[in-house]
Structure formats: structure tokens, C-alpha cells
Amino acid sequence: MRAGIFAAFVILVGAAVLLLVFGPITYVREAREFRPDPVAATAPPEIRMTDLQPGLPLPGPNPNTGGENPSWYERNAVALSEGQRLFSAMNCVGCHSHGGGGMGPPLMDDKWIYGSDIKNIYATIVEGRPNGMPSFRGKIPPEQVWQIAAYVRSMAGLTPKQASPSRPDHLQAKAPEASYPEQPPAGGLIPPSATAPQ
Amino acid sequence: MSDDVLRPMEEREAAAKLTGAWHEGEGILAWLSATGHKTTGRRFVLTSFGFFIAAGVLAVLMRLQLAVPENDLIGPDLYNQIFSVHGTAMMFLFAVPVMQGVAIYLVPLMVGAREIAFPRLAAFALWMLLFGGLLLFVSLLLDMGAEAGWFAYVPLSGPEYSPGKRSDVYAQTITFSEISAIAAAVCLITTILKMRAPGMSLNRMPLFVWASLVTAFMILFAMPSVMMASTFLIMDRLIGTHFFNPAEGGDPLLWQHLFWFFGHPEVYIIFIPALGMVSHIVEAFARRPVFGYVPMVLSLAATAFLGFGLWVHHMFASNVPQLGASFFTAASMMIAIPSGIQIFCWLATLWDGRLVIRTPLLFVFGFIFTFVIGGMTGVMLAAVPLDLQVHDTYFVVAHFHYVLIGGAVLPLFGALYYWIPKVTGRMLDERLGQLNFWLMAIGVNLTFFPMHQLGLEGMTRRVYTYPPEMGWDRLNLIATVGGVLVALSVLLFLFNLLRSLSVGRLAGPDPWGSPGLEWATSSPPPEFNFALPPVVTGRSPLWEAGEEWPVVTGLKLDQREVLITSVLDAEPDHRTEFPEPSIWPFLAAIAVGLTFIGSIFTPWAVVAGSVPVAITLIGWFWPKPGEE
Amino acid sequence: MSAKPRAALAALALSLGGCEGPQNMLDSSGPQADTIEGLWWVMLTVTSAVWFLVVAAMLVAIWRRRVRAEALELSGEPKPHRRERSLGIAVAASVGLTVAILFAFTIYSFVLERRVFAAPPKDALEIQVTGHQWWWQVRYVHKDPSKIVETANEIHIPVGQKVTVRLSSPDVIHSFWVPNLHGKRDLIPGQEAIFWIEADRPGSYRGQCAEFCGWQHAHMSFWVHAEEPEAFQAWLEQQRRPAPEPPDDLTRRGRDIFVTGPCAMCHAISGTTASARFGPDLTHLASRTTIAAGTLPNTRGHLAAWIADPQSYKPGNRMPPTFLPPADMQALLAYLETLR
């Protein structure tokens, strides 16, 4: 009887310890944030690097944003999974294929022309880049751009494995992001698309 | 008891020696090493009851959320976790193990054995249950609770639509609890078939023992199916296999078939032991043996066989071919027959008995009143056209809560009132018990009856809220009030139990004047159960016993020696020595548990975990010094 | 089932709760739902009678065989078995009756099943319904591709005609259910389900996803509007037209905002360059009664609120919040209101 009470006590203490140790990780990884902060989402606009953009030109300036803590997106499983979905839905696959590259550079290697930080990737998507990367400013809301940027990093194994997406329910284009070893960006050869005159 | 009077000396001497051989020891290490079936059974029931209360709290939260339309108490994300964990815990961590726990405690006593077969395996089953349940609930606190329902249909629970680790936690909780259930089932089958008291041929076995035997066999056949499904799921999620990916040749319906091939027998795995309990309570309080022993046993067996033939009635809305659906309609209708036979036999027993109305019998009345409603709606659900209307609505929620609460929880509470005096040696308070019954019976019906109507009015299941203009608010509010009543009744039970431990009247060996062997020993029973193991001459041993009470002699008293008997007629076969308590089952459970939990995060955990698992199993099976 | 007992039972059920409503299987408005409702009343009557008999038998037993309170201290004297034979006959008779009832139910169910699920005529109007998280894509197929009609969350059908429904899902399992018309049918990824529905009187019937499909399972509903065939044809013709040209400057500005802004990344409006298939087709948005899969009424205020902050109404849905300056928002709303 006394040992039973002791056991119950040990279980409770153990649960509390688990909460304290793993809570900070799991609360980020498992969170489902449905409603982005409206204040952050209406920050002042930023510069644009290219005149290209999908669809028709915008009628005027459009609000844009940088997040307070962008690395949150790459540790959050749902943000990465949404990024994976949007990567197809927003037709990133049209040029980059499923990370292997095509008309655009591959994204699943560790060679980064404009930087591998999530903020660099965000800027690349929002501002566009010379030689074909259109600007998605005003087309994709900032929240979703962060999700796509985080997913792009997961394709190169730059996000925590536990949060990275596993296989999607389609034909298998490549191994799941979650199966890549985590790796730091090492730089490397510049792909042909970036060596053309700019 | 007569034998107390007739053989005091013999018995006292035997008891003294047996205590030496069977004592479990004191201290933390001994506590963790304990393997006695009464210890294990008690812990099984307490553990699963703990999960029952935790899952019950979740149920109350759901009812509060649904009390008013467009309530924002709980958002969709948390609500999905809550209902998923509620279902998973109630089915896998409460309903099955609590019945097995009662069986682990009672079956050896009922068959006149000293111990359960493979006591270390039973202890291992307990630890697996505990770790699996803790995994589920600690994960819920870590925002990592199961989120795709207890049925976890792919692709919603698959890698694309359930990112993160939530569904992996679900899958491994299943694996934990199934291993526990299968291990306990093996112990029970062996005990029942090989360790019955001499003379207890199969046709003299108590009905609860029959029910446990049938259930254990069902577990052996049903559970591997869901374990395979959960393993496929975690492989799909963790290492990118394609079992359930239609684009790569997998099939989402494969999950449903595997799940329901287990899922429907599961209902009977929960419900058949309760039928056994009802038979014992009816017998004791109607003061006559249950009418129709043979039809009762055959009904149990028939239910078990038919229970495997109707899983597709959970899938009528998917693309089942019509002819196939007709077969499952017929099977689903047919299974009402054995249940009907048992109800009629109990009614006949009541009709002919002298009814001493006490709390356990009240729960049986509540069972008949409530369960028959669930059975009737079950018959309705067997008809494909009607099923397609009410499937996945609150009508079904009402139906299976009527079946499971009416058919299993009410009998279980009756059984607790009936057998707890045997376990603790003290009686529960009768007036509190009757209050407990009325609160629970009224609460359950108030909660779930309106849900029939809600389902007919179109309220679908698993919704976290509903629009105010649908007119579902009044009935939902009633259901919430009922839910609170049920919660109060469970609290009252706990109060009654705790109170009885200190001030309850002493029970004595046989407080109800019952006929079963479990009442032939003291309350609580000694660690060796019977100083002189009984020999059985009929179905109601204590009612049939005359002045002379035949016993088994010749077993060694200073060792853990037990008698093994033959399967059919329980003729003495040979003696065997039982193992000492051991810490290894606990350590093995930790090793297996860490492997399973690790495999949520990396497939390498299976490789790394195999080493400690191997070490602990070697330690577990290491021969005793001196053994050949 | 004849009219009289049915009316009496309906009155009984009405006293318990409602028997009418846009999403109520007891308010059947089509031949299939009608058949099933008939089965329901038959089964309810018989099973209720059985339940009353069982409970009555139990209560009589309690009342007759109860032992006085003083006798509660159990004597342990078992009662000698007697009347075993008569009990056996009673039990056997009850079991026999049970078997007979169940057999009748089974046959009855088979017969009705074949009636309800008979194949639809080959030339029936065909609608493709695709379930998405968490809205319904509806497409009226036609041999001529220019006559294909695409809409969302609202289905119009002609009264008195069988309508074939083809169901599929690109993401998770959903279930198509309009209780006033028929039972439900699952939409399973990788498979196609075909069944038919028919309404025998005009009206608006609400349907809802009946298979748990994630966060917004609760807000995945739709409406079926059953109309007289002429009205239906008129509606179909209207839907076949591309979106009208914006009549004035304000709505033209609204269209520009739509096609150049974030809206066009997911939505299509035929007759404009917006042609994404990711969200519902909005070509005739203003002709629908609700938005967001039956979550909100289709009014200017709700539309504005939905565009600006959809996650407050349906947390987790796929529509991101869109922050537009007030003047732009007004222009966009004005344009959307022209999409009749």
C-alpha cells in the first residue's frame, strides 16, 4: 500500500519532469497556430529585387512582413507540412520540381546562391531573384511564405528531423524530408542557372 | 466455512508453511518484483481505473464544450485530441484491461488454483499497460495527444495530414496495450485450461471463467490484427512505407479492415466478461444457480465466433459490394440471438429466484434496462439502409455508449460492489452503493438517450461545435447535465471505496452466501489462495458442499508447487513448481517500453532497444541454480 | 407502413423532439430517405415492444420474487430447482420469437437495400462531388467542356429526377450525407464512389461531412437546393455563363484586386485570368446562399469578415487572412457581389 502510494508519487514527479524537459520542444513542434498575429502581418513593405511576378502586376504597394521569430516555423511540424502543401499548390514545383530542380535551381542540395537562412529564403520568395525567380509579394501572405521557406530548408535537411515532413500521400517523387540526415549548409558549386549573365 | 471447523489444525499448519513459500516480501524492490496474481490483478484494475477517471475527465470537458452551440471553451485542435484520447484510453486502457484485471484476480480463485499460470508474464502485462497509458496521457499534456480519433483512419492519421508525433504516440499506445492484453490472455487461457481444481470439468466451470476463457481467445485472434495495423501506420509515418498510400499502391481501406477486424470483436472482448459477472451476481442474489448453464456457455462461444464476422458493418458507407454488405447484415442480426438467449436466461433466473435486492443486483437491473436499448439500436444498425442514415451520427454515439456503459460498465460496478469485499476484506456501504447506482443509471440515460434524437436530427459525430440554428442545443445541454451526474456517481464510488477501507464492516469469507470457490477462502485471500486446494463435485461448490469438503493433499507446502490438471475433465495430471517473484518482468517492460517510445522518434530505437530487451529477457528466463 | 400508426408514432416522436428540419432523416424528402424512414419506424416499433416486454418481465420478477428487508442476511440456503421445465419453455419461446423477428428484419432490410441502391438510369444528370478539407467542390459534367459547371458547397438538383453523384477525395476521407434525401457515402482517396439521390419535393436540404476529417469537420456542410426542372435548367444555364463584366469603376478595381492579389492564387473566376483550382470556384459566388461551406450567410458583412479573418470562424481552414486597405476591400466586395 505504502509502496503503491510511492509509485503513484514517482509517476507524477516523472510526468512533471517530462513536461519540463520535453515541453519546450513538443510545444513548438506540435503547435497548431491557426491565426497569425495581425500586427506582425501588417508590417511595412520591403524592397523588391525583380520585376517578375506571377499573374498580373499588382495595382499598388502591398503590406508585407518579417516575423518576430522565423525559426519557429522550421521547428513546427504543421508549418513545415503546410509549407510542403503550398510548395505544390503555389506551383513552386513548376520550376524547382520536388526539390530536384529543373528550370529553377535544385533546393535539396546544400548549395545556396542567396543564403540558406530562413530569412534569406523568405526574401527570395517575396522579392524574387534575377534570372527567373518571380516576386510573390502580395500574392502569398507572409505567414504562408514563412511556411514555404521553412519547408524549403527541410528539403536540404536543415530543419529538426522530428519536425520535418514524412512522405506525402502522392506518388513518391523523393525520399521524405524526415529521412534526410540533418546537415549544415556547406556551400559548393554555383548551379548553371546562376552563372548566366545577370 | 465447514472446513474451517473440521480441519483447523491441518489447515493452520499448512498455511504456516505455505506463507513461507509464497510470501512476496517487503520493500520497494519486492513491490516491483511482485508477481502474485492477486497483486497483479489488483494493480491491473487500479491502473485501468485510473485511466478510466482520466478519460472520464476528458469526457466531461467534451460535454462542457458541446453544452451550448458555437462554444469557444475548447478549440478544434484540442477537442480533437481530447476525443481521440478519450476513446483510445476508454477502449484500450480501461475497458479491456479492467476486465482482464478482474479475471487475473478472480479466475485462479474461482478455479481453485494457487496462482495464475505464468505469473511473471502477467506482471509484465501490467507494466506494459501502465507504460502505454502513461505514454498516451503524458503526451496529451505535452500537446502531443492522439488527434485522429481512436479509430485513426488513414490518411487523416497518416504522415501528410497528421504532422508531428501525435499519431505515432497513438500507434505505439496501441502496441503497448495490445501486448499487455495478449500476454494477460495467454496467462488466463493456460490457467483456465490446465490449473482447475480436480473435478472442475469444463461443464462445471463458473460462467465468469467461461467468459474469461472465451474473451482471452478472442484477444489472441483479434489483437494481432490491430497491432499489425498500428505497426504499418508507424512505418508509413516514420520510414516512408506506402501501406496506406493509394498513389503508390497502398489502400486507405486496408486500415479500416485491419482495424475493424479487431475493433468489432473488441466490443465483445469488453462485453463478454461483463456477462460472466452478471451471471455470478444474478446467481448470488436470486439464490439459485443461473438457469440454462449450457445455453449460456454456448451463447458466449457463439458470440465469440460471430463477433469476428461482422466488422464490415462499420464500413457500410465505404464502397462495400452489396452482396458482401448483405452477409454482414445477416451476421450482425444473428449476433443478437446469443445475447438474447442470455438475457432470457437471466430473466428466467430472476423469475424463479428469491431476490435479495442489494447494490450489485441493482446494477444488474440497470444493465438489463440499459443494455437492451443498446442491443435494439444495434439491430437497427445492422440494416444497411438505416445504418447509412445514422452511421457516424450521435445515434451511433448513443448506441455504443448504451452497449458499453450499459453492457460493461454497469455490470463492472456491480461486480466491484460484489467482489471488493473479497479483495479488501471489508464491505462497501450499502446505502451509498444504492445512491451510487441511481446516480449512475439516471446520469447515463440522461446523457446518452437524447443523443439518439440528436443523431436522427442530423448531428454528426466528432464535431467540436455546431451551429445554433440547427436546434441541437437543448438536447446537448441535457446530455451535459447527465454527464456531470455520471461523474458525480464515480466520485461517490471512490468515496465509498476509500471509506470502506477504514470503517467498512468486516466481510468474512463469504458475505453474500455465494456458491463459488473464491468465497471458500478468507477475505482477503492468503497469498497462496487456499491452504488446502479444494476438489470440486458440482457447479455450485459451496451450495452443494456437505459436511465433508474434499481437498487436494500431497502438494509440497514449503515450495511453490501447484497441481496441473487435464483440459477437459480436470483430472490431476502432474505437479509443477512455480517461479519466485522477480524484478525481471519490470525491467523487461522498461526495456520494451523505451524501445517503443524511442521508435516514435527514430527507427534506430528498434535496433538499440533490442540489446536491453535481450538482456532483460535472458535475465528473466535464466534457470534457477540447481535446475537441469 | 400504413399512414395511421406512422402518424401516431410521428406525433410521439414530435413530443420527444423535432421531426422536421433541413438536416433530419425523419423529415424525408426523397424516395430513398422515405424508404429508410419507413424502415426506421417499423424497427423502432418492434424493438421498443421487445424492450418493454423485457423490462416488464424484469420488473414483474422483481415485484413478485423480492425478499423482505429482514431476510437480507443471507441464509445461504439455495432454493431447490423447480419449474425448470416451464422456464425452459418460456426461454425457448422467447428465443424463437427473437429469431423470427431478426429473420424478418434481415429479409426486410435486404429488400429495401436493393430498392434504395438500385443502379441509376444511364442518362441521369451526373454531378461530381469532390470533398476537400473543408469544403465541397461540385461539378456538373457535360460532353461539351464549355458547358461544364463548377461550383462549391451548393448543389442544385431537379425535383423528381434521379441524379447520379460521383464522389472522390484528393486528401482525406469525407462522407457525403444529406439526411433528408439519402444515407451517407464515403469519399475515399484513390477510389470513386457512385450513388444517386432524388428529391420528390422542392426545398433546401442541408448536408454535412459525416466522416471525421480534421479540424473543421464540424464546419464542412453544404446545401442541396431541389427545384422544379425549369428553375433548375435556368440556374444551370446561368451557371454556365462566365462571370459578368464589372459594370463600373469600383467593381473594375475590385476585379483587378482579385486577379492581381492573393485571391487569384487559389480561386478561379471564369472569364478572368484567375483560374487557380485550389479553393472554391467563385464565378457565381453571389448566387450562393452561404460561404465557407455553410458556415456563414452570404452577406457583404460576413464576406468582408471572412476575407479579413477567416481563421476566427473556421480555425485551421486553408484560407489565409488577407489584409486589404478599406477602400480596396470595399471595391473587392462590390465586385464579388456582381458575381451572380
B12 pLDDT band (50/70/90 cuts)?
confident
In angstroms, the separation between the Cα of residue C311 and the nearest Cα of chain A is: 6
Closest CA to C320 of A79, B249, B177: A79
pLDDT surpassing 80 at residue C270:
yes
| Lowest mean pLDDT segment, chosen from A157-161, B204-208, B278-282, C332-336 | A157-161
Most confident of A127-141, C78-92, C126-140: C126-140
DSSP state of B289: P
Domain that holds residue A79: 63-166+181-191
Enumerate the residues of chain C whose CB falls inside 8 A of the CB of residue B75. Answer: 315
In angstroms, the separation between the Cα of residue A179 and the nearest Cα of chain B is: 7
Tell me the average pLDDT across C305-320: 92
Q: pTM of the prediction?
A: 0.93
Tell me the average pLDDT across B261-285: 95
B65 pLDDT band (50/70/90 cuts)?
very high
A1 located within any domain: no
**Residue C61 near residue B350, CB atoms below 8 Å:** yes
pLDDT surpassing 60 at residue C14:
no
pLDDT surpassing 60 at residue B103:
yes
Instruction: Report the alpha-carbon distance of residue A54 to residue A68 in Å, rounded.
Output: 27
3-state SS assignment for residue C156 = strand
What pLDDT, on a 0 to 100 scale, did the predictor assign at position C177? 96
The verdict on a CB contact (< 8 Å) between A27 and B143 is yes
pLDDT surpassing 70 at residue A122:
yes
Q: B392 in the Ramachandran plot: left (φ > 0), alpha (ψ -120 to 50) or beta?
A: left
pLDDT in tens, C170-194: 999 999 999 999 999 999 999 999 9
The verdict on a CB contact (< 8 Å) between C321 and A32 is no
pLDDT in tens, B21-34: 888 888 888 899 99
Asked casually if ipTM beats, i.e. exceeds, 0.90, the reply is: yes
What pLDDT, on a 0 to 100 scale, did the predictor assign at position A46? 55
pLDDT in tens, A130-188: 888 898 888 888 889 999 999 999 988 888 888 998 888 888 877 888 887 777 666 55
A120 located within any domain: yes
HEC string of chain A? CHHHHHHHHHHHHHHHHHHHHHHHHHHHHCCCCCCCCCCHHHCCCCCCCCCCCCCCCCCCCCCCCCCCCCHHHHHCHHHHHHHHHHHHHCCCHHHHCCCCCCCCCCCCCCCCCCCCCHHHHHHHHHHCECCCECCCCCCCCHHHHHHHHHHHHHHCCCCCCCCCCCCCCCCCCCCCHHHCCCCCCCCCCCCHHHHCCC
Q: Which of residues 458-477 of B touch C (CB under 8 A)?
A: 458, 460-467, 470-471, 475
- Classify strands C221-227 and C149-152 as parallel, antiparallel or unpaired: unpaired
B467 pLDDT band (50/70/90 cuts)?
very high
pLDDT surpassing 50 at residue B404:
yes
Closest CA to B593 of A14, A181, A28: A14
A71 located within any domain: yes
A37 located within any domain: no
pLDDT surpassing 90 at residue B15:
no
- Closest chain B residue to A14 measured between Cα atoms? B138
Which amino acid belongs to residue B305? Answer: F
What pLDDT, on a 0 to 100 scale, did the predictor assign at position C84? 81
pLDDT surpassing 50 at residue A62:
no
- Closest chain A residue to B237 measured between Cα atoms? A166
In what side-by-side order are the strands of the sheet with C149-152? C149-152, C135-140, C125-132, C163-168, C193-197
Tell me the average pLDDT across C237-258: 93
What pLDDT, on a 0 to 100 scale, did the predictor assign at position A47? 58
Chains that touch B (3 or more CB pairs under 8 A): A, C
A3 reaches B (C-beta below 8 A) = yes
Residues with Cβ within 8 Å of C230's Cβ and at least 6 positions away in sequence, in order, are none
**Residue B164 near residue B80, CB atoms below 8 Å:** no
- Closest chain B residue to C18 measured between Cα atoms? B457
- Closest chain A residue to C323 measured between Cα atoms? A42
Report the share of chain C in percent with pLDDT over 90: 74
What pLDDT, on a 0 to 100 scale, did the predictor assign at position B3? 42
**Exposure pattern of C60-72 as b/e (b: 16+ CB <10 Å)?**
ebbeebebeeeee
A101 pLDDT band (50/70/90 cuts)?
confident
Enumerate the residues of chain A whose CB falls inside 8 A of the CB of residue C215. Answer: 32, 34
Tell me the average pLDDT across B57-74: 94
The verdict on a CB contact (< 8 Å) between B159 and A166 is yes
Tell me the average pLDDT across B362-373: 96
pLDDT surpassing 90 at residue A22:
no
**Which CATH number characterizes residue A145's domain?**
1.10.760.10
Most confident of A99-103, B188-192, B559-563, B572-576: B188-192
A39 pLDDT band (50/70/90 cuts)?
low
What pLDDT, on a 0 to 100 scale, did the predictor assign at position C122? 86
Q: How many domains does chain A have?
A: 1
Q: C119 in the Ramachandran plot: left (φ > 0), alpha (ψ -120 to 50) or beta?
A: beta
Instruction: Name the phi and psi angles at C261, rounded to 5.
Output: -90, -165
A22 located within any domain: no
Enumerate the residues of chain A whose CB falls inside 8 A of the CB of residue B77. Answer: 32, 34
Tell me the average pLDDT across B57-62: 96
A78 located within any domain: yes
pLDDT surpassing 80 at residue B251:
yes
pLDDT surpassing 70 at residue C308:
yes
Instruction: Report the alpha-carbon distance of residue B209 to residue B110 in Å, rounded.
Output: 7
A58 located within any domain: no
What pLDDT, on a 0 to 100 scale, did the predictor assign at position C310? 92
Report the share of chain B in percent with pLDDT over 70: 98
C68 pLDDT band (50/70/90 cuts)?
low
Nearest Cβ partner for C95 among B76, B340, B513: B340
In angstroms, the separation between the Cα of residue C243 and the nearest Cα of chain A is: 19
pLDDT surpassing 80 at residue C35:
yes
**Residue C134: cis peptide before it, omega within 30 degrees of 0:** yes
A153 located within any domain: yes
What pLDDT, on a 0 to 100 scale, did the predictor assign at position B282? 95
pLDDT surpassing 70 at residue A5:
yes
pLDDT in tens, C119-135: 888 889 999 999 999 99
| Lowest mean pLDDT segment, chosen from B319-328, B578-587, C15-24 | C15-24
The verdict on a CB contact (< 8 Å) between B76 and C26 is no
